[in-house]
Amino acid sequence: MDVSRRDFLKVSSGATLTGTAIGGLAALGAGLAPTLAQAQALRIERAKAVPSVCPYCAVGCATLVHAVDGKIVNIEGDPRSPHSEGSLCPKGAAIFQLHVNPNRPTRVLHRAPGAKEWEAWDLEHAVGRVAELIKKTRDETFVERLEDGKTVNCTTAIFALGGATLDNEWNHIQQKLLRGLGIVAIENQARI
Ligand code: SF4
């Protein structure tokens, strides 16, 4: 492939604009498909593929999770999915970073009212504090009967919000717990 200095500068600036060196090489006419395919093949060569589902939204696109020695090395769309056929949206295409990400917080951080600094709490302590506040709020706001004598046994002072990453089983248990406490405002984007 003959590339003049002028051609190189022209496509380099285009590549910078699109933010990819690969885009620039492709613009120069370099056939990258075999290289990319080979790199991908090497990455998952010894991997075990486990079928899964993107956790981000209710569309539920199917994925293949590749793991080597128990560590995730790649996640991609599963072409066997009848509705997504191997495609993932940009969010789904980044699921790998949900698992493998040095910037992901792994500790519970608590900032006391009025404090400027965050404190690291151990999980047991944090869950205990959440339970303590739920009990306190429920005790203070629980209504057994309305003025007309109708039994309601509920509190409207606690609201439960879930997301699409909560699966069927989690939602089943969560509903039982929350309704048992008399919480009626329960919302989630469950994928079932
Ligand atoms: S890949 Fe995108 S559209 Fe599909 S389930 Fe994930 S977030 Fe939803």
What are the structural domain ranges in the chain?
A: 1-31, 45-103, 105-138, 142-192
Cβ of 59 less than 6 Å from ligand 1: yes
Cβ of 60 less than 6 Å from ligand 1: yes
52, 53, 54, 192: which to mutate for ligand 1, most atoms within 8 A of CB?
54
d(Cα 79, Cα 74) in Å, to the nearest integer? 15
Helix, strand counts (H, E) of the chain: 7, 8
pLDDT score for 18: 42
Cβ of 57 less than 6 Å from ligand 1: yes
d(Cα 21, Cα 11) in Å, to the nearest integer? 10
Closest CA to 7 of 29, 31, 28: 28
Give the side-chain half-sphere CA count within 13 A for 158.
Answer: 24
User: What tens digit of pLDDT does each residue of 119-171 get?
Assistant: 999 999 999 999 999 999 999 999 999 999 999 999 999 999 877 677 778 88
Band of the pLDDT at 5, cuts 50, 70, 90? low
52, 53, 59, 166: which to mutate for ligand 1, most atoms within 8 A of CB?
59
> What ligand 1 atom has the least distance to the C-alpha of 92?
1
The tokens for 15 are: 């590549």
User: What tens digit of pLDDT does each residue of 53-95 get?
Assistant: 998 887 889 999 999 999 999 999 999 999 999 999 999 999 9
Contact between residue 186 and residue 156 where contact means Cβ atoms under 8 Å apart = no
57, 83, 84: which to mutate for ligand 1, most atoms within 8 A of CB?
57
pLDDT score for 11: 47
Which of the two residues, 175 and 110, has the higher pLDDT score?
A: 110
Cβ of 95 less than 6 Å from ligand 1: no
Please, what CATH class does the domain formed by 45-103 belong to? mainly beta
Stretch (H or E) spanning 170:
helix 168-181
